[in-house]
Copies of this chain bind each other. A is one copy, B any other.
């Protein structure tokens, strides 16, 4: 058996947030990319990440490289997949990829970082390595997971209106949802708890809801938390 000479382990993270542009009907799913300052792919945009340290657990490495490159500390961080194709990099690199959700207000804190910019997931620039394929897979996982878990919570404040929750679903699924049907589905799911507070503003007051915290954000099974 070969002792894996020349194989290095990296950790990368796909971080999704939501951006509302005034005038746009629909919020957009956005993600931060880091401009590479060295070869290979110098000048190209890439996912935030870095090398795994020998004394560091995988999820700690994901959190660390994320903080170093974007300043973000997301509330939800989950392992996505290990990408290890031989030809994905000039040298042999296995990347353990994590994905994370951050609320729009958290995402703004990353804007100021050097060489970091947020992009609409639907119109990305050319990416370094196999990162376009990784983003595609993460988007697919996000769309799937929003259907059977309360993952949308990771993009919302603690209290939110049904219209705000629907906006998250619409952005992730890429299509409009009927408000009455949406309200009915949410009501029967039992995952939301109505509060006594209302959002007031230019529209008529809308009741604020919060998630039922007896339900896990996403069922991760017996994995350590």
Contacts and interface: CB of A to CB of B under 8 A. Distances in A.
A140 B223 CA distance: 10
B136 A92 contact: no
Counting contact residues on chain A (CB < 8 A from B), the size range is 35 or more
Contacts of A94: 9, 52, 58, 94, 96
Contacts of A1: 50-51
Interface string A81-92: 110111000001
Interface in A83-133: 84-86, 92, 94, 96, 133
The residue among A144, A222, A223 with the most chain B CB atoms within 10 A of its own CB is A222
Interface in A194-225: 219, 221-223
- Copies assembled: 2
B7 A54 contact: yes
A183 interface: no
A189 interface: no
B54 A4 contact: yes
A137 interface: yes
A88 B50 CA distance: 22
Interface string A1-44: 11111111110000000000000000000000000000000000
Contacts of A136: 221-222
Nearest to A92: B54
A158 interface: no
A105 B30 CA distance: 49
A216 to B, nearest CB: 13
Interface of A: 1-10, 50-58, 79, 81-82, 84-86, 92, 94, 96, 133, 136-137, 140-141, 144, 148, 219, 221-223
